[in-house]
A and B are shown apart, each in its own frame.
Chain A
């Protein structure tokens, strides 16, 4: 299926950043913060990580590319989604410098690594009957309509 993050999903991700969860191939999970997030394609998000933030997940990510994302801060309750996909680490070249420059300007982050996550699975995490429902099985238009019937709040960029 085609995965397309809705406008509202994109706004919550970019405004709040995400908690990034990875795991070793043996199933030991690690979490770090992706404070700066930029949606780079309909189904892709880039995170700028400082060296210490990347250090938490680097070992696991080198051997297992799966990344699960939950929106940080108020997004943990307002953006009731979990995103999963394959992560790719970029530490040099134009794909690095562009995101790193944006992260420096926006949040003063000294980026060590940019993690591009190609989202292939979207789950509803609203508690109740729809918890765990896979949204990426719908068409992008259906996902938009599904979401608009439930929530329409879009956070402002300067919200902390």
Chain B
């Protein structure tokens, strides 16, 4: 069982609140990798990363057949956020049983707090030529983190959680 550090919790928030843009890395069951940048990110409990299911396609398909994922900080790295988190993910979509549990995370709690993420933490910092015209959230990806390693040059691969 891992426990996020204070710095990790601060870094795993939306960029507009001092957090980070992250890469969510998934794979099909037969090993074809996929990497996609995510803006809506948060932590829950001491070992869960949450990411909005907003415009997910291949990522969603991969998670539905293979829960193994990695989350890496994309930007800013130079603030010491050389982290890659590995663990198991589920996409808690609206329609899931409200008592669904993912390693201690409850579907009702997750959807109540992060189910309308665009309203609670609007992407005001995202450039107008990138931001989406209309939010379309289907759920919340919950990642139960089991380990983390560094990608800091000179220390890449070292276990940090």
Chain A residues lying within 8 Å of B23, measured Cβ to Cβ, are: 19, 21, 31, 70, 76
- Which residue of chain A is the closest to B123 with respect to CB atoms? A127
**What separation, in Å, do the CA atoms of A24 and B78 have in the docked complex?**
29
Main secondary structure of the interface of B (DSSP, over half): loop
Within 8 A of B (CB), among A60-80: 64, 66-70, 72-74, 76-78, 80
**What separation, in Å, do the CA atoms of A127 and B84 have in the docked complex?**
23
Contact status B55-A56, CB under 8 Å: no
**What separation, in Å, do the CA atoms of A80 and B35 have in the docked complex?**
11
Contact among A72, A84, A127 with B74 in the assembled complex (CB-CB below 8 Å)? A72
**What separation, in Å, do the CA atoms of A148 and B127 have in the docked complex?**
17
Contact with A along B85-113 (1 / 0, CB 8 A): 01000000000000000000000000000
- Which residue of chain B is the closest to A133 with respect to CB atoms? B57
Q: Is A25 an interface residue (CB 8 A)?
A: yes
Contact among A50, A70, A160 with B36 in the assembled complex (CB-CB below 8 Å)? A70
Contact with B along A95-136 (1 / 0, CB 8 A): 000000000000001000000000000010111110110000
**What separation, in Å, do the CA atoms of A35 and B76 have in the docked complex?**
14
Contact among B68, B72, B78, B149 with A28 in the assembled complex (CB-CB below 8 Å)? B68
Chain A residues lying within 8 Å of B26, measured Cβ to Cβ, are: 29
Beyond A70-B37, A151-B129, 17 extra complex contacts between A and B, CB < 8 Å: A19-B74, A22-B33, A23-B33, A27-B31, A29-B27, A30-B25, A31-B70, A33-B77, A52-B153, A52-B158, A53-B157, A66-B33, A68-B33, A72-B75, A77-B75, A127-B132, A128-B133
A-B contact pairs, 26 of them (CB 8 A): A19-B25, A21-B23, A23-B27, A23-B31, A23-B32, A26-B29, A26-B31, A29-B68, A30-B84, A31-B72, A33-B151, A50-B156, A56-B149, A56-B151, A64-B31, A66-B32, A68-B33, A68-B35, A73-B74, A76-B23, A77-B130, A84-B32, A128-B55, A128-B132, A128-B133, A129-B133
Q: Which A residues contact B (CB, under 8 angstroms)?
A: 19, 21-33, 35, 50, 52-53, 55-56, 64, 66-70, 72-74, 76-78, 80, 82, 84, 109, 123, 125-129, 131-132, 150-151, 160
